[in-house]
A and B are shown apart, each in its own frame.
Chain A
Amino acid sequence: MINVIENKKYFLGFSATLVVASLVLIAVFGFRQGIDLRGGTSWQITTHDKDANVALIKETILSVENFAEVNVRSGEEGKFIIRLPDINEGVHQNILSAIMGEFDGVQEDSFSSIGPAIGSELRRKSMWAIAIVLLAISAYIAWAFRKVSEPVKSWKYGVVTLITLLHDVSIPAGMMTLLGYLKGIEIDTNFIVALLVVMGFSVHDTIVVFDRIRENLILNRGKNRDLKEVINFSVNETMARSVNTSLTLILVLVALIFAGPPSLLYFVLTMLVGTVFGTYSSIFVASPLLYLFQKK
C-alpha cells in the first residue's frame, strides 16, 4: 500500500516542479505556432531527382520571390517540406513551375496557404474551447458529487478537478514548447484538440478515485475514521483500475505513434504525455489536494 497522503509533499512537489518548469518554458520561449494559427504556407513536394537538396530548393524559391522567411526541411524518400509566408495562387504557381523546371519528377503532395485572419480567429476560438471545457467538467464534477456534502463539500471536488486538469494540460504544453525550441516543432489546431481530449480523459481516473472516496465516506459515517485514512485507502483500492483504464488508451496511442500516419505524430504524442500525467495526477495529485483542502 502506497501512502499517498503521508508522502504528499514528494508527489505534489514532483508535479509542482514539472508544472512550474512548463510554465517557465512557455513564458520564455512561447509557443511556436503553426501556419493555421498565425497564417502562412505549408507545402510538401516529392522529387525523384537525386540532385535535389534543401539548399538548392531554397535557392530556387528565393529566385522567384525574395521572401523574408523560407524554411525547407527534407523528409524521407525525396520529400521536402517548405514553409513560407502566406502567398497567393499566382506566386504558388510561379514557384512550382520554377521547381519543376529545376528538378525532375516533382510531385506536389500537399499545399496549404492560410491568411492571418483565419489564424487569429482560430486562436480566439481555441482559448474559448479550453476555458469552457475546463469549467464545464469541473462544474459537472461538483454537481455529480452534490449528494455527499459531508464531510467533504462537493464544490471542493470541482475545484480539485480544475487544478488537476490545469496540471494535466500544462505538462504536455510545456513539452511541446520545448520541442518547438529544440526541434522547431510547431503547435497547430491538432495540439489544441489533443489538450481538450486529455482533459476529457484524464478526469476519468480522477472520477473513479473520487467516486470511491465518496462511497467509503458514506460507509464510514459515524465510525469516526480519519479522513486521511479513508482517502488513502480509497486511492489504493482503485489504483489498479486507474492504471489499467489509462493503459488501454496508452497502448492504442503507442500503436498510433509507431504504425500511424506521420502527420499525426505530435497530435498523438501530446495526448500520450497528457494521459500519462493525467493518470499520475488522479492518483498522486487529486487525492492529496482534496485532503489538504479539507484539512483546513
Chain B
Amino acid sequence: MFNQKRLVFVLVFLIAFSVVAAVFVYEPAWKKVSAFQPWRLGLDLAGGSFLTYEIDLGKVSSGDRDSVVRGLRDVIERRVNLFGVSEPKVYEESIGESERLVVELAGIRDVTQAIREIGETPLLDFREVIEKEDSQGGLGQATTTSPEFLRTELTGRYVKGAQVGFDSVTNQPQINIQFNDEGAKLFEEITGRNIGKPLAIFLDDELLELPIVQGKISGGDAQITGSFTIKEARMLVERFNAGALPAPIVLINQQTIGPDFGAGALRRAVAAGALGTLIVMVFMLAYYRLFGVFASLALLMYIAITLGFFKVLGVTMTLAGIAGFILSIGMAVDANILVFERTKEELRKGLSRTAAIQEGFKRAWTSIRDSNISTMITALVLYYFTSSFVRGFALTLFIGVVASMFSAITITRTWLKIFVKDKQLKTNNQQPFR
C-alpha cells in the first residue's frame, strides 16, 4: 500500500500550489503582491485595432522579396511605435503566394490617424549637410556648430536597389546602392558639391546614416563604408530597399473594438464561467455525493492551476480563448464521471471500497485516454488550420484537456486515497482479478 504520509504530503503540496495559483490568477489580489506578469488581454477584450495589409510584390524580383517584406515591416514597426500604444505588434504572415503584414494596436485612440500614417509609402531621401555657425556674438562666447539638413531632389524613387557587400581590401561589410539614370545624375551633382563633407540619408524624416562623401561619384553605383557589423549592414539595406522599392501595401482587413465593448464581454464571459463551474459542482455533489466532493475540489484546483499556467506562459486571452477554457471545465469532470461509474460497478460486484476505486481508475483509463486524444486532435487541427483569433481557442482547449487529465486522475485519486477508507478494519488490499 502507498505510504499514507507521502500521499498527505503530495496533497498538501497540490493544495498550496493551487492556492498560490489562485492568488496569482486573481488580478485584484495579485496586484497587491507583485506587478509580475499581468494578464494579457487580446484586442477583442482590451479594445484596439487589428489591421491586415496585403503587400503588393508584383514589381519585386523574387530574390528581393524577403528583404523587401522585412524592410517594410521594420518601417511600419517604427511608425507604429510612435503611436504610444502598449506593446504594438507587427508581424508577417504569408498565405500561399501573398505576403501580409498584420498590425495589432491595443487600446489605440485614433485609428484613422494610425491607418493614415501606416499606409504612407516609406520615404527615403538624401540631404546635404550644412554646418552652420551659431555665433552668439557675445564676448568670449565660443562658437558652436549645429548641422542643418537641406533636402535634395534625390529620394528613394531613384534608388534601384541596395545590397550588403564586402570591401575587397579590408573585408569590412559595406552597403552598395545603385541609382537609376536620373538618380545617378543627381547623385553625381550632389556628391560633387559635397566632397569631404557628410551626406545625410533619411528614412521617414529620421536620420539613418551619415556617410562622408569621398569623391564625386558618377555612374550610379555608390558604396557606404563604415564600422558596422554584417547584421547592421543588412538592416540598413532592408530599410533602403523599403524606401526604394515600390511595394505598396493595401489594407484588406480592419477590425476595431471599442474598449468598453471588450470589457463588457470579458465580464460576462468570466461570470458565465463561474456560473458554469458552480452548476457542474452542484451536479457532481448531488449525483455522486462524497465522490462528488472530491471531484469538485479537484475541479477548483484544476481551474486555478490551469489559469496559472496560461498566465505564467503569457498566453494572450481572447474571448474565444476564454470560451475554450470554459468548455474544458465542462469536460474536466468527465474523467471523474467515468471513474466513479466504474467504481460503482465494481462495488456492486462486491469489491471493498478502496479496491473498487483502484479498479475504477484502472479500467476507466482507456476510455478517458481515447476520448481526450480525440479532443486533442481537434485542437491541433484548429491550431494549424485557422487564423490567429481561433488559435487562442485551440491553445486553451488543448492545455485545458491535458491539464484536466492530470487533475481528474492524479488530484482526485490522491483525495480519494487519503479520505476514503474501507469499512472493515481488515481488508485484503490485493489486486482483485477476475
Contacts and interface: CB of A to CB of B under 8 A. Distances in A.
B272 interface: yes
Interface of B: 52, 54, 95-96, 98, 112, 115-116, 119, 251-258, 260-261, 264-265, 268-269, 271-273, 275-277, 279-280, 283-284, 287, 319-320, 323, 326-327, 329-331, 333-334, 337-338, 341, 345, 363, 366-367, 370-371, 373-375, 377-379, 381-382, 385-387, 389-390, 393, 397
Contact of A252 (B287, B319, B330, B363): B330
A113 B253 contact: yes
Interface in A232-266: 237-238, 240-241, 244-245, 247-256, 258-264
30 contacts: A89-B115, A107-B260, A108-B256, A110-B258, A110-B261, A112-B253, A112-B255, A113-B253, A122-B386, A125-B386, A133-B381, A137-B378, A144-B366, A192-B386, A193-B382, A197-B375, A201-B331, A201-B375, A203-B374, A207-B370, A238-B341, A244-B337, A251-B279, A251-B283, A251-B330, A252-B277, A253-B330, A254-B279, A255-B275, A255-B279
B341 A244 contact: yes
Contact of A129 (B119, B279, B385): B385
Given A109-B258, A129-B382, A252 B327 contact: yes
Given A89-B115, A244-B287, A261-B268, A196 B382 contact: yes
Contacts of B256: 108, 110-112
A267 B329 CA distance: 17
Contact of B330 (A132, A137, A193, A249): A249
Given A118-B52, A118-B253, 10 more contacts: A107-B258, A109-B261, A126-B386, A196-B378, A204-B375, A207-B367, A207-B374, A251-B276, A261-B264, A263-B265
A252 B253 contact: no
Contacts of B393: 193
B280 A128 contact: no
A256 B258 contact: no
B280 A132 contact: no
Given A133-B381, A189-B389, A211-B370, A247 B283 contact: yes
Contact of B370 (A108, A126, A144, A199): A144
Contacts of A292: none
Given A115-B252, A133-B377, A261 B269 contact: yes
B331 to A, nearest CB: 6
Contacts of B320: 190, 193
B283 A245 contact: no
Top 9 closest pairs, chain A to chain B, by CB: A200-B378, A252-B330, A260-B272, A255-B276, A249-B330, A204-B371, A252-B276, A112-B255, A115-B252
A4 interface: no
Given A244-B337, A255-B279, A110 B253 contact: no
Q: Is the interface of B mostly helix, strand, loop or mixed?
A: helix
A44 interface: yes
Contacts of B366: 144, 211
A68 B311 CA distance: 47
Contacts, number: 198
A93 B110 CA distance: 12
A152 interface: no
B323 A111 contact: no
A285 B116 CA distance: 58
B47 to A, nearest CB: 9
A187 interface: no
B156 to A, nearest CB: 24
Contacts of B115: 89
A16 interface: no
A14 interface: no
B107 to A, nearest CB: 14
A208 interface: yes
A193 B95 CA distance: 20
Nearest to A165: B374
Nearest to A211: B367
A114 interface: yes
Given A107-B258, A204-B371, A208-B371, A132 B323 contact: no
A290 interface: no
A245 B279 contact: no
Contacts of A211: 366-367, 370
A252 B326 contact: yes
Contacts of A262: 268
A122 B255 CA distance: 16
Contacts of A89: 112, 115-116, 119, 251, 254
Contacts of A247: 283
B377 A137 contact: yes
Interface in A194-236: 196-197, 199-201, 203-204, 207-208, 211, 215
A175 interface: no
Interface in A115-171: 115, 117-118, 121-122, 125-126, 128-129, 132-133, 136-137, 140-141, 144
A7 interface: no
Contact of A204 (B280, B327, B374, B389): B374
B254 to A, nearest CB: 5
B279 A196 contact: no
A253 B319 CA distance: 15
